[in-house]
A and B are shown apart, each in its own frame.
Chain A
Amino acid sequence: MSLLCPEGERLPEYLTERLSPADAARVHAHLAGCGVCRRLADEVEVGLAAMVIARDEAVEQERVTSAAAARAEVRLAPQRPRGRRTVALAAAACGVLITGAALGVVLERQTSGPETLAEFTLSNESVFDPAAGTAALALVDGGLQIGLELDGLPRDAEFFECLWHVDGETRSAGTFAAVDGAVEVDLVVAPFEGVPSWTLDIVSHSSEDPRVVLTAER
């Protein structure tokens, strides 16, 4: 017989913001009154911290790999080839294939090309901050894939965040790092339904206040 509250197994989703606002509020309210689940949350926190440590390692490996590629002056093609690797939310996890292999887990590459929905030009009108790039929106496995190719990003940024504005709501599509001011990465936001009007912002996070460095133009 299990003594686990129904909210118990939802704690990992709650702690990693995978729940809807209504469900998150429900779990949060439950935590306030349930000492058992608060202790469970603390246990889960340790496991999550361990996964963050593993993820940091994956990101660092990817950074090293990307830097080596940049030194070799490998230029990325201007058009994204179909069937390229898809990495889900928080593009920093693109080192997952490396880590997955190290852990004995093989994650399959995306083999079927995504259905392109729209493409944006991302630009910054400032002469002194000439970052530019493109964003391609596509459907993949029922989720929205935001493919970014950016260049000229601020080099003092700790990381960048992709914000998508839809129906008056702002949501984060994930974060990513750049190498020498450039990045090519796919973010996946799922589930996704419909294609309403879109705008995208790329926000730079550094020791200063976050600022929009690129925005979408239809």
Chain B
Amino acid sequence: MLTRIGAGDASGWADFYRSYRGLARHLLNSLAPGGEHLVDDVMQDCAVRLWRSVHRHRPELGSEDVFVRTLLRRSAIDLVRSRSRHVVEPGAVPLGDTDEAGLDPTTSWVDVAAVRSALDQLSDAHRETLTRAFLADQTYTQIAAELDIPEATVRTRVFHGLRRLRTVIEESVEAR
């Protein structure tokens, strides 16, 4: 797919939209409930990033699926962050043009405070493992050695910690 996109082959873009639109909608459903209408914005932003960086993809370093997912994740996060800074409070008098997609007070945005709060609700084991793996970028081997646990346990904690994190975030957003 990336080869075709890089060559300007329209079928590559068709595959991109067909394969990843569902993931974009899923991310928005979780990170910005009520903002599902922004899925086209996320896909468009990701397409631009993809077009600019497709030549950087090195198959020996990772699959194109992961390459695209990483860009899409970043597009969704950046859009949620930028739009959440411009939410119009209910009852506020709009200033100027309010047609821009995203200025929707019914959308609940997941910001860093929500993530912090969600992390606080994880078990100590899950929180520490996720922090080490994704904030300190420690390898599973390093985490296992420092926590004196099997690497398989690290793998299990990361997997279930991420799933639990998602559940807590979605529950907290729904409760707002």
Residues of A within 8 A of B55 (CB): 209
Contact A51 B135 (CB under 8 A): yes
Interface residues of B in 59-111 (CB under 8 A from A): 60-63, 65-66, 69, 73-74, 76-77, 81, 110-111
Number of A-B residue pairs, CB cutoff 8 Å, is 168
Complex alpha-carbon distance, A17 and B64, angstroms: 11
Contact B159 A11 (CB under 8 A): yes
Chain A interface residue count, CB cutoff 8 Å, equals 63
Contact B73 A52 (CB under 8 A): yes
Contact A54 B115 (CB under 8 A): yes
Contact A24 B115 (CB under 8 A): no
Interface residues of A in 126-176 (CB under 8 A from B): 141-143, 169-172, 174
Chain B interface residue count, CB cutoff 8 Å, equals 59
Interface residues in chain B, defined as those with a beta carbon under 8 Å from any beta carbon in chain A: 22-23, 26-27, 30-31, 52, 55-56, 58, 60-63, 65-66, 69, 73-74, 76-77, 81, 110-112, 115-116, 118-120, 127-128, 130-142, 145-146, 155-156, 158-159, 161-166, 169-170
Beyond the given pairs A48-B162, A56-B81, A104-B120, 18 more chain A to chain B contacts, judged by CB atoms under 8 angstroms and listed by A's residue number, are: A9-B156, A10-B155, A18-B140, A28-B65, A45-B26, A45-B73, A47-B163, A47-B165, A49-B73, A53-B112, A54-B116, A55-B135, A88-B137, A88-B142, A99-B135, A105-B127, A191-B141, A210-B56
